[in-house]
Amino acid sequence: MEKTKFYHALRIDKDRCIGCTHCMTKCPTRAVRIRDGKAVIRKDWCVDCGECLKACPTEAISVEQDDFQKIFGYECRVALVPTVFIGQFSKYTTEEEIFSALYELGFTHVYQVEFTADMIHREMLRQMELAEEKPVISSFCPAIVRLIQIRFPALVDNILLVKSPVNATATYYHQVLTEEGYKPEQIGLFYVTPCAAKIAALKGEDGYSSTINGVINMDTLYNKVYHILQNRPKGYKPECVLPPALTKKEMRWSQTGGEAKHFSGRCLAIDEIHNVIDFLERMETTNEVRNVDFLELRACDRSCAGGVLAVANRFLTSERIMKRSMKRDKAPLIYASERFGALAYLKQHITIRPLHPNPKLLFDGNIEEVLKKMEQVRRLMCYLPGIDCGACGNPNCQSLAEDIVRHEAQFSDCVFMQRNMEKHGKLDQEHAFRLIEKTWGKDRLNKDCYKKGAKYEGQ
């Protein structure tokens, strides 16, 4: 089977990286290593969840985004705004003020991403009725979809093949604007993203095809809008064309429990990627999890409100969205519009193509060779200390043993093994020092106190 090629939106600035291991210890898929004093990401294991970005103390890890000026390359400039962006602002800031600021920045149209949530829900119900295996799993979070492809490939067929709100809404409004007379090359749709995984999914080829022309990181756009709002004169009354209002259900769709509460049967909503991994591992290895019909799985704590590109506190964001949604109408406006052609077009294009497993292969070779290598790892673990200190540049002793078997590391990379080998005359101090330099860089131990000939206190 041909492996899916993942696009990645996370970038490491080698000049800023100090090799501190914060990212390595937080990575849920153990995709990060420290080599030559810098963090290195194994791209075939990374799911773009952004845990490494949140952990980095030097801001050496960033998220790719398109140049904002790119929007002016289109006559029709569309901002696709998720509700979590509205939740970045206090309750005293009206949606009209926020949307008017977006128009001032240069957008000609502003639409809300969750506008198609009810139609997505109907398609999910249809696919659930046809599903042969349970639980079915939401395709909302691209980081979770990739996680399942990599770490839980047996569950790939359980993922519902439904477009996420951003893709469905982009499909719908692209058709609306085309019917209004715009040519495809004149339409530029730009998604305001709260996370790296959505950028990776939109620009990749893993089943999330869309008509989106670019992405704008939420923190970047928030700062631009906030600057406009802060500099408006007192008493300013914004005037702009508001997008169709969302229902309570649509506004809450991206929050934890926003999907699960609308399905019958045993439905669970789990957020934060480490919690998701723990649950899926229990589901695979124990009988503790039974008779679950639907799983809403999100990589971020508090779902999109906790996205790595969000500015506001995730709990405040969730509360603001919940309060703004309290007095919303119940009938989705997507069915009340006169855009019957666009509605029919979306119904025909609401699904995504089948997803494929992309398992995190620890070892190459046939089954006999893989089993032999697994036995080698087991034997190595009998000698390694099991402290998981990370001093070897690997997240734990297990990953070091696996890297040794893959010929990507050495047994002597472990500092405890180095001391033991020195004790028995199997390793000289100069060689041991070179091994440390290979992991942590040549200048890592050249502190100022050594350069100046100073001594530690007490010596």
* pLDDT digit string, tens, across residues 333-351: 999 888 999 999 999 999 9
DSSP lists the bridge partners of residue 112 as: 81
Q: What is the CA radius of gyration of the chain?
A: 25
- Segment 179-193 shows an average pLDDT of 96
pLDDT at 211: 86
Q: Which residue has the tokens 């980095």?
A: 56
Q: With cut-offs at 50, 70 and 90, classify the pLDDT of residue 286.
A: confident
In this predicted structure, the answer to whether residue 459 has a pLDDT above a threshold of 70 is no
User: What letter would DSSP give residue 349?
Assistant: T
Helix axes 165-179, 340-348, angle to 10 degrees: 140
User: What letter would DSSP give residue 293?
Assistant: -
In this predicted structure, the answer to whether residue 146 has a pLDDT above a threshold of 80 is yes
Helices (H), 252-396: 273-285, 314-324, 340-348, 367-381
Fold of 1-63: Alpha-Beta Plaits (3.30.70)
Which tokens is 343 given? 């509605």
C-alpha distances (whole Å) from 90 to each of 94, 120, 180 are: 9, 29, 35
DSSP lists the bridge partners of residue 35 as: 38
Considering only 3-12, 31-40, 116-125, which range has the smallest mean pLDDT?
Answer: 3-12
Q: With cut-offs at 50, 70 and 90, classify the pLDDT of residue 225.
A: very high
> How many residues comprise the chain?
459
pLDDT at 447: 60
In this predicted structure, the answer to whether residue 418 has a pLDDT above a threshold of 80 is yes
Which tokens is 252 given? 């809450």
- E strand or H helix at 309, and its extent? none
Query: Phi/psi of residue 160, each to 5°?
Result: -70, 135
Question: Which of 407, 343, 380, 4 has its CA nearest to residue 173?
Answer: 343
pLDDT at 210: 60
In this predicted structure, the answer to whether residue 114 has a pLDDT above a threshold of 90 is yes
Question: Which of 161, 192, 160, 190 has its CA nearest to residue 173?
Answer: 190
Strand 136-137 to 187-193 pairing: unpaired
pLDDT at 456: 46
Peptide bond into 135 cis (omega under 30): yes
pLDDT at 444: 73
* pLDDT digit string, tens, across residues 34-91: 999 999 999 999 999 999 999 999 999 999 999 999 999 999 999 999 999 999 999 9
Q: How many CA atoms lie within 13 A of 407 on its CB side?
A: 1
- Segment 1-25 shows an average pLDDT of 87
CB within 8 Å of 267: residues ≥ 6 apart: 260, 261, 292, 293, 294, 295, 296
Provide the residue ranges of all domains of the chain, joining segments of one domain with +. Answer: 1-63, 66-347, 364-458
Do 156 and 314 contact (CB within 8 A), yes or no?
no
Q: With cut-offs at 50, 70 and 90, classify the pLDDT of residue 1.
A: very low
Higher-confidence residue of 141 and 1: namely 141
* pLDDT digit string, tens, across residues 302-328: 999 999 999 999 999 999 999 999 988
In this predicted structure, the answer to whether residue 458 has a pLDDT above a threshold of 90 is no
* pLDDT digit string, tens, across residues 231-284: 999 889 998 999 999 999 999 999 999 999 999 999 999 999 999 999 999 998
- Segment 185-191 shows an average pLDDT of 96
Q: Give CA–CA dist 57/376, Å, rounded.
A: 36
Considering only 166-170, 229-233, 389-393, 450-454, which range has the smallest mean pLDDT?
Answer: 450-454
Mean of per-residue pLDDT scores for the chain: 92
Q: With cut-offs at 50, 70 and 90, classify the pLDDT of residue 432.
A: confident
Q: Give CA–CA dist 270/299, Å, rounded.
A: 9
